[in-house]
Structure 1
Amino acid sequence: MKPIIGITSNIRDEKLLTTGLSNIRAIVKAGGVPIVLPNLTEDSEVDRLVESIDGLLVTGGGDVDPNIFGEEPHPELGEVCPERDHFEIMMISKFLRLDKPILGICRGSQMINVSAGGDLFQDIYAQHDHQLLQHRQNAPRSHVTHFVDVAENSLLHQAVQSTRFKVNSYHHQAVRKVAEGFEVCARASDGIIEAFECKTHRFVLGVQWHPENLTGKNDIYSLKLFNAFVQACQH
């Protein structure tokens, strides 16, 4: 039986619930059944959602509220959505407690980290004193622009079967301190954390790029990543 994968969503203009079709198509292509999740606030309702799905895809979107990790807003902080933040923290925390698979993409990876006690750069360009790559690429979302180097024998390495490949990039926030129990498993050449994973859970992985936008081009690394995630959700 195909696993049911919950996909987190954006709230737009306080009246629309949105997610990219690329998220849905990537899960379908990997053999899962996608369900777009509303941003609920009641604990009992969230518990029911957690019970009904096999895996959680935490998607990209706007910035993460720095109050979550004990900071006030930096001048370069973008738009935040407290309702979405609250829901995703609840979902991630419950999934971690139950050891259910989680894949976080871009903002989603950042949410996994702060939910578990880590923190973020609110703006990598303002908060680094050395030259960085272009992490907000001026190219189509399906175009890969910079390399990531992957740690051998990591969960990510097992999934993609490579230690170096190119990714796309659309972010200005990034993981700074990785939460306890998590390990960095990929970096860009400028040192920015591009992926991390949890060693105490069977499949919890956050990636800073957008693999969902690459599966349509049959990017082998993105396809392998989603396949590994959906396969983990079947157990």
Structure 2
Amino acid sequence: MTIKIGIASNHMIHPTQTLDTNYFDYIQKDYVDAIRKAGGLPVVLPLGDPSDAEDYIELVDGLLLAGGQGLSPVLYDTEPIREMAESDIYRDRFEIALVKAAVKAHKPILGICRGEQVINVALGGTLYQDIYVQMGATEKHNQLPTSWEIPTQHVTTTADSFLDKLMGHRFLVNTFHHQAIHDLGKGLTAVAESDDHVIEAIESDDGNVFAVQFHPERMFRTTPAFISIFDHLIERAH
């Protein structure tokens, strides 16, 4: 049986030098490659209306939510601070609907970076719009211009969590974010954090929803252990 994993797409909504106003839906190729490497069949889901979410989830066995823009704080009843960068309410609402539909259908969800934040907000949680201003983070959580595939920051996992079992108690990850989880959503537990206490992974009580703040899809080729996170999604989807 081939396991089909829906990957929610982003959409280009700004003119570019080469494409002008030829807008399009897209997903970064590493997400597709990681699902294939783990033995799944990637199915890219074009951004749609939230009312389409249940129909999309019926087509797949599991869901992957990728990185991208920050979530709009209006979705967790907060006003934007001046450090708030670009958000996309259309993508936000659609992906939140996908999470709710997948939870309702008891299908596994893996969130990556923004995807972790989407899951948290979909389940009633809140975010720090900027971890430096609002929580006093002291580490460099956006490693650019250092290359994406190079791990630069340690995280420490909770014993017996999915990430502890897959990757061990303490290991290096890459990092590209300035938002992070504040209040956890319903049924979610923080299962990894950075040394300055930013939440780096979460897991649901039933183990069917899990997410990381870092980007394993950018590291699995040079650090093969990270493919285990995608293997875990495929195993949960069986």
* Alignment TM class, shorter chain as reference: over 0.9
State the shift of 1:83 in Å.
0.8
Please list the CA deviations of residues 107-153 of structure 1 after superposition, one character each: whole Å capped at 9, or x if unmatched.
00000000000000000111124x51100003100000011100111
The one of 218, 225, 228 equivalent to 1:224 is: 228
Aligned to 1:37: 45
Matched with 2:154 is: 147
In structure 1, distance between residues paired with 2:43 and 2:230:
16
Q: How many residues align?
A: 229
Counterpart for residue 100 of structure 1: 107
2-side partners of 1:58 and 1:42: how far apart?
A: 15
SS at match of 2:84: coil
**Alignment counterpart, residue 17 of structure 1, candidates 25, 29, 33:** 25
* CA distance in 1: counterparts of 2:54 and 2:122, whole angstroms: 17
Please report how far the alpha carbon of residue 167 of structure 1 lies from its aligned counterpart in structure 2 after TM superposition. Answer: 0.2
* Identity level (%): 36
> Does the aligned pair in 1 maintain the 2:53–2:97 contact within 8 Å?
yes
Q: CA contact under 8 A between 2:190 and 2:202: conserved in structure 1?
A: yes
* C-alpha contact (below 8 Å) 2:200/2:213 kept by paired residues: yes
Give the alignment partner of residue 173 of structure 2, picking from 164, 167, 178. Answer: 167
1:90 corresponding residue in structure 2:
97
Given the superposition, is the C-alpha separation of residues 80 and 42 from structure 1 closer, same or farther in structure 2, using an over 3 Å criterion? closer
Q: How far does the alpha carbon of each residue in 1:147-195 deviate from its partner, in whole angstroms, 9 at most, with x for none?
A: 11001111222333x1111000000000011112111100000111000
1:137 aligns with 2:146: no
Give the deviation of 1:99 after TM superposition.
1.6
Structure 1: how far apart are the matches of 2:224 and 2:194?
19
Q: Which residue identity is paired with 1:39?
A: L
Equivalent residue letter for 2:224: D
Name which of 163, 184, 190 aligns with 2:190.
184
Q: Which residue pairs with 2:3 in the alignment?
A: 3
Give me the TM-score of the superposition, normalised by structure 1: 0.94
- Separation of aligned partners in 2, 1:123 and 1:175: 10
Aligned match of 1:59: 66
Unaligned runs of 5+ in 1: none
Q: What is the CA-CA distance between 1:46 and the residue it aligns to? A: 2.2
8 Å Cα contact 1:3-1:33 kept in structure 2: yes
- Provide the TM-score with structure 2 as the length reference: 0.93
Residue among 61, 67, 88 paired with 1:81: 88
The residue identity in structure 2 corresponding to 1:87 is F
Could you list the runs of 5+ residues in structure 2 that have no partner in the other structure? 15-22
- Residue aligned with 2:97, SS: helix
CA contact (8 A) 2:7 2:63 kept: yes
Provide the rounded CA distance (Å) in 2 between the counterparts of 1:142 and 1:22.
11
> What is the rounded CA distance, in whole Å, between the counterparts of 2:50 and 2:185 in structure 1?
26
Whole-angstrom CA distance in 2 between matches of 1:229 and 1:42: 23
Q: Which amino acid aligns with 1:85?
A: D
Q: Structure 2 CA distance, aligned partners of 1:104 and 1:64?
A: 14
Alignment of 1:192-231 (within 5 A): 192-199=198-205, 201-220=206-225, 222-231=226-235
Amino acid at match of 2:230: F
Distance 1:32 1:153 in 2: 25
**Post-superposition shift, 1:10?**
1.1
Whole-Å Cα distance in 1 between the matches of residues 103 and 55 of structure 2? 16
Q: C-alpha separation between the residues in 2 aligned to 1:108 and 1:2?
A: 24
Equivalent-residue separation in structure 1 for 2:102 and 2:135 (angstroms)? 33
3-state SS of paired residue (2:134): coil
Of 85-94 and 131-140, the range deviating more from structure 2: 131-140
Question: Would you say the 8 A contact 2:9–2:26 is kept in 1?
Answer: yes
Q: Which moved more, 1:9-18 or 1:225-234?
A: 9-18
The residue number in structure 1 matching 2:133 is 126
Shift >3 Å, 4+ stretches = none
